[in-house]
Amino acid sequence: MHRVGRSQVQSLPSLRPTRRFWIWIVLVIFALFLLSSNLGKRGSWNPAEQILIEITAPFQRFVTHTINYTEGLWLKYFALINLRNENDGLKKEIYALRMENYRCRELLATNKRLQELLHFTETFNWPGSAAQVIGRDPSGWFESILIDKGKQSKFKVNMPVLDARGVVGRLVSVSPNYSKALLIIDQNSAVDCIVQRSREKGIVKGVSEKICKLEYVVKTGDVAVGDTVITSGMGRVFPKGLPVGEVIEVKSSPGELFLNITVKPMVDFSKLEEVLIVLKEDPLSSNRKEKD
């Protein structure tokens, strides 16, 4: 007789629960089949069917709940994926709209500055042309700016450069498409000016980005803090009456012939973006032609 090995004997109990489970599954399915096949033949269950339904109904309910729960999780999973994709799309749309809003604000701000420049040109009879500031002197030796227009826009050396608040400087170099302007805050700059209230004359020279000096005003001159300094028109570069700065300090030193006057420029040179070039002939070049 064939003998069963010890290892085979030990593996038999482990297989019995699995077999029992599948037997129950088969029985339940068979019972459900019988119930469904007899459902249309008579209206009520017999005792055997009632016992069978009492046994199989809990299992059927468990299977139904399991299927419904799994289906719900599956649908929620896809819903979350769709929601995430929709959320990503909305984020991109919000970012695009935000960037568009920034661009619109910048365009409105630029348009406002240009309108102020154009309104400023109405204060004198010379035609003007707006230009964009695209850089500053990289060497640091001079206080100057680079603008995006040149000879093709009829720009010439010594043309005045302004913004809506006042005098910026004058053109010192011009190429076909670009120009360089020396600012009034540069130490090499000198603008013939007068004090608007008292008509005292002097020369505004650059010191730093935030201050200038009004030089050659005699000690007896009538200058006070808060006075506005404007161009005199005597230098023939700048039209008369353009605002240059405001007097913020007046000192009289012993032994000095002139007052020590500090002027704050009307223009904030750290925020220059657009400038206005006054299209007038270079008076210095016309003087040279007359001498020739």
In the chain, where the domains are located: 8-73, 128-281
127, 121 in Cβ contact below 8 A? yes
Q: Torsion angle of alpha carbons 228, 232, 236, 241, nearest 10°?
A: 60
The per-residue pLDDT for 149 is: 93
∠ CA(271), CA(273), CA(277), 5° rounding?
120
CATH class of 128-281: mainly beta
Which letter does DSSP use for residue 239 in this model? P
Contact 210, 249 (CB under 8 A): no
Q: Cβ distance 216 to 234 under 8 Å?
A: no
pLDDT at 28: 63
pLDDT of residue 189: 93
- Mean pLDDT value across residues 39-66: 64
The H or E element that residue 144 is part of is: strand 144-147
| Average pLDDT over every residue of 172-178 | 94
- 141 secondary structure, DSSP code: S
Rounded Cα distance between 258 and 215, Å, is 7
Does residue 6 have a pLDDT over 50?
A: no
pLDDT score, position 9: 44
| % residues pLDDT > 90 (the chain) | 37
Q: For the residues 36-50, what does the mean pLDDT come to?
A: 58
pLDDT for position 290: 42
Q: Would the pLDDT of 54 be above 70?
A: no
Arithmetic mean of pLDDT, 163-180: 93
The per-residue pLDDT of the chain, averaged, comes to 79
